[in-house]
Structure 1
Amino acid sequence: MKKIASIAWKDTLVRFSERSEFLFFLVLPLLFTVLLGGGLFSGGDREARISLLVVDEDNSELATELQSVLTDSEAVEIITATRTEAEAQFEDEKAPALLIIPAGFEDALMARKPVELDFRKASDDNDAAVAEQTILAAISTMSRALAVANSSVAERERLLPFTDQAQREVYFSQSLSMAQSLFEAAPERVRSTRPPTAPADGEDEFDQSTQASTGQLITWVFIPLIGTSVVFVSERTKGTLRRLLTTPTQTATFMLGTIVGQLALSIVQMALLIGFGIWVMGVNWGQSPTALAVMLLSFALASVALGTMLGTFTKTDSQANSVSIISGMAMALLGGCMFPAEMFPEVARTVVKVFPTTWAMQGLTDIVMRGKGLVEILPAAGVLVGFAAIFFTVGVWRFRYE
């Protein structure tokens, strides 16, 4: 046991002999967690509406109705301003989108003439694209009521002509108001339901901070653990492994020391990232501590086992380092650590099940985002333990001194 601890400590000192290692061990993981999570203190019930500058040059009832529909969408936050003020704020990038409702907007709609809204958006901005889709949806909602009102006016005109334009406008307004009321009272076409086992308070709903915290933990712990291959290759190519084994040190002792050292560092790193997620990002990591411990340990074992196996296939330090980084980033990306797995096609979601990162992300998401416990995550943990057994078996079988 003392030899195992000595080897583990030696590997730790070697790993942190350069200060740049702290950059990859803690600084970059925290930085990427914040960036992908949407900023500090971003967890919880934070409202995330997109700012939309609106200039109303028509000042009509229908222009006000359009703004009301946009506000009810819960996707954008209306900021009304004059054209000069709005254009200045848009140029200063204080809002990603600007909508100008031109004069004559209501008159054109009531006369069934085409009307053009002036919409401006920041280039390559996802929020601006969302604002644009929200505006299109609002226009579509208004168009349905307008179409009904216009049809009603036309039918009344056919049956009983209006005496003057004022009577026609009153009838149109009444028809439009009735159509809007009927559409608002219409039953839902699609209703969102929740399974009986889902948390009643909605804690299992997608949260960007949770996705970032879990995904970046897996990514930045996974890459150094499969980088265990570099340790084995370095010892082998420099001849220190053969010299070490001339002492009363068995091969199993050396391998255990290296593996235990990497596992211990990963546990420290995961604890720091989880603490940051809880106290800074507001992520609920503590729903099931037992399930979390089992999942993290299974993931760490599978990762270090993969590194042990890769160390028997690579021949040089640079080769082992490149393979570790490239394969680690690829598996993290495809495993859903950067983006939710639901964004990938069904075929891709099936293929990526051959990666440990996929099962680790699934298990941690079930715990942190869906509130599941030990029993529910055992299948994912079992798959990771299976990966570890296979990788360790191949690694030990192919282990060479030189």
Structure 2
Amino acid sequence: MKNLIWLAMNNLKVTFGKKKGIISYFVLPVVFILIPIMIYSNVGNSSVRIGIIDKDKSSLSTDFVKAIEKQDSLRVIDINNENPKGEVAAGKVDCVITIPNGFEGSVYNNSLKQPEILSLKGESSTVWINNYSNIYLRNLIDIWKASKGNKQIFNKIYESSKENSLSFKSVSVKDTTKGKSMTSQSIGFLIMFMMVGASSFAEIILKEKKNRTYFRICSAPVSSKIYIFSNVISNFAIVAIQSLITLLAMTKIFKIQTYVPFWQLYIILLCFGFVAIGLGLLLVAFSKDSTQSNVLMNLIVTPTCMLSGCFFPVDFMPDAARKIADFLPQRWVISAIEKLQTNGNFSSICLNILIILAFAFTFFIVAAYRFSRDENIKNFV
């Protein structure tokens, strides 16, 4: 036990003997939290900007424009009527509504001419105006049908309805999407740093093989199992501290609302820490030198993090990529967090935890088998 603790402490001393180790393990994961914060900082903060072109200039079209102007979620902006596409393309407005000629007459003919909506952003910028417009215009048609084609009756009903005109009541609700998305991406970057850090830390074994320190240690009353286990202990200590610092930065410094209890997030990350450590040992076990280990790490870590949804939601990926993601441990971490964010309890992610630990167990078993078959310690260069 004394040798185990000494070896683990020596590994930590070697790693953090330079400032570079502290920066790469503890500072960079916190800095990278700023990326999702900047991405989501302006999401959902502004109303939809609308330009309106009234070609009909009738009483019904004028009332329609006034009704739109009253809505809190919609902001009408003056535009150049001759070049509506240019106004949208320049970003001055989110969409342009064009009320066609004969709009009022089409109501009286029971063949409504729908206003045209021009937008470059798709449904995200037009959903509110579409909903309001459809309800408002349907109301006009219903009034005309109720008047049975009599304009005088229509005008009386219409004027009466204007006193109790249709409107949307604006109520502020708590937006949870930004906090949840920032949490997933922040944890995604942390996962990447955990995998890179664990792999880099495991390279101590390669370095000590190269300078024959590994051989000298194993010649002393210390078995190779104790040596590898000390690497796992010191590596896990780093992962635990790294996860704790990053989570504290997310919740206390950057004030990200995770919608997941702190301890549950921490347990998930600790479980994944074993995966990262196991993968690091696996890469070292199959590498002849540090260069080969780094190449393997780059070929595995970044692509798998991208496919598993660490950097962006898997919903953006094709079905084939989503199926591949189910075979990656990172995906099960992100999935566990998403389940907890949707009011799931900790028991709902038991399967996720078991699968994550199964990945770790598999990596450790394969790495241990590979180390046990290594017969070239003396000839390592």
Q: Normalised by the shorter chain, which TM-score bucket?
A: 0.7 to 0.9
Determine the structure 2 residue equivalent to 1:333: 306
Determine the structure 1 residue equivalent to 2:25: 25
Shift of 1:216: 2.8
The amino acid of 1:299's aligned partner reads F
Q: 2:362 aligns with which of 373, 385, 390?
A: 390
Determine the structure 1 residue equivalent to 2:46: 50
2:326 counterpart SS class:
helix
1:63 aligns with 2:65: yes
Determine the structure 2 residue equivalent to 1:314: 287
Determine the structure 2 residue equivalent to 1:78: 74
Q: Determine the C-alpha separation between the residues in 2 that align with 1:218 and 1:10.
A: 25
Determine the structure 2 residue equivalent to 1:11: 11
Q: Determine the C-alpha separation between the residues in 1 that align with 2:32 and 2:227.
A: 34
1:240 aligns with 2:240: no
1:353 aligns with 2:326: yes
Determine the structure 2 residue equivalent to 1:188: none
2:48 counterpart SS class:
strand
Q: Contact 2:51/2:93 (CA < 8 Å) preserved in 1?
A: no
**CA deviation digits over 1:55-101, x for unaligned, max 9?**
557592101233456x4xxxxx43445449xx9xx99x997734455
Q: Contact 1:99/1:119 (CA < 8 Å) preserved in 2?
A: yes
The amino acid of 2:125's aligned partner reads A
Q: Contact 2:95/2:126 (CA < 8 Å) preserved in 1?
A: no
Q: Determine the C-alpha separation between the residues in 2 that align with 1:342 and 1:95.
A: 27
RCO higher in 1 or 2 (8 Å CA, sep ≥ 6)? 1
Q: Determine the C-alpha separation between the residues in 1 that align with 2:224 and 2:155.
A: 93
Q: Determine the C-alpha separation between the residues in 1 that align with 2:283 and 2:363.
A: 9
Closer, same or farther: CA 39–318 of 1 in aligned 2, 3 Å: same
Q: Determine the C-alpha separation between the residues in 1 that align with 2:364 and 2:38.
A: 38
Q: Contact 1:302/1:384 (CA < 8 Å) preserved in 2?
A: yes
Q: Determine the C-alpha separation between the residues in 2 that align with 1:377 and 1:98.
A: 41
The amino acid of 1:60's aligned partner reads T
How many pairs align? 352
> Gaps spanning 5+ residues in structure 2: where?
55-60, 107-111, 169-173
Shift of 1:288: 6.5
Determine the structure 2 residue equivalent to 1:130: 124
How do 1:129-168 residues align onto structure 2 when only pairs under 5 Å count? 130-145=124-139, 148=142, 152=145, 156-157=148-149, 167=152
Q: 1:111 aligns with which of 94, 105, 123?
A: 105
Q: 2:348 aligns with which of 368, 373, 376?
A: 376
Shift of 1:14: 3.8
**CA deviation digits over 1:337-362, x for unaligned, max 9?**
22334555565444323221122222
Determine the structure 2 residue equivalent to 1:74: none
1:170 aligns with 2:143: no
Closer, same or farther: CA 377–236 of 1 in aligned 2, 3 Å: same
Closer, same or farther: CA 146–207 of 1 in aligned 2, 3 Å: farther
The amino acid of 1:12's aligned partner reads L
TM-score relative to the length of structure 1? 0.69
Q: Contact 2:198/2:277 (CA < 8 Å) preserved in 1?
A: yes
Q: Contact 1:216/1:338 (CA < 8 Å) preserved in 2?
A: yes
Identity of aligned residues (%): 17
Q: Determine the C-alpha separation between the residues in 2 that align with 1:168 and 1:318.
A: 86
TM-score relative to the length of structure 2? 0.73
Q: Contact 1:213/1:283 (CA < 8 Å) preserved in 2?
A: no
Shift of 1:305: 0.9
Closer, same or farther: CA 27–119 of 1 in aligned 2, 3 Å: farther
Closer, same or farther: CA 8–215 of 1 in aligned 2, 3 Å: same
**CA deviation digits over 1:124-166, x for unaligned, max 9?**
xx7x87214544555455554455566x39x944xx6x5xxxx
Q: Determine the C-alpha separation between the residues in 2 that align with 1:205 and 1:50.
A: 14
Q: Determine the C-alpha separation between the residues in 2 that align with 1:118 and 1:111.
A: 20
**CA deviation digits over 1:346-391, x for unaligned, max 9?**
6544432322112222233334553522x33332222222222221
Q: Contact 1:149/1:176 (CA < 8 Å) preserved in 2?
A: no
The amino acid of 2:261's aligned partner reads Q
The amino acid of 2:9's aligned partner reads W
2:255 counterpart SS class:
coil
Closer, same or farther: CA 305–132 of 1 in aligned 2, 3 Å: same
**CA deviation digits over 1:290-335, x for unaligned, max 9?**
x445433321112211211121122231221132233222222222
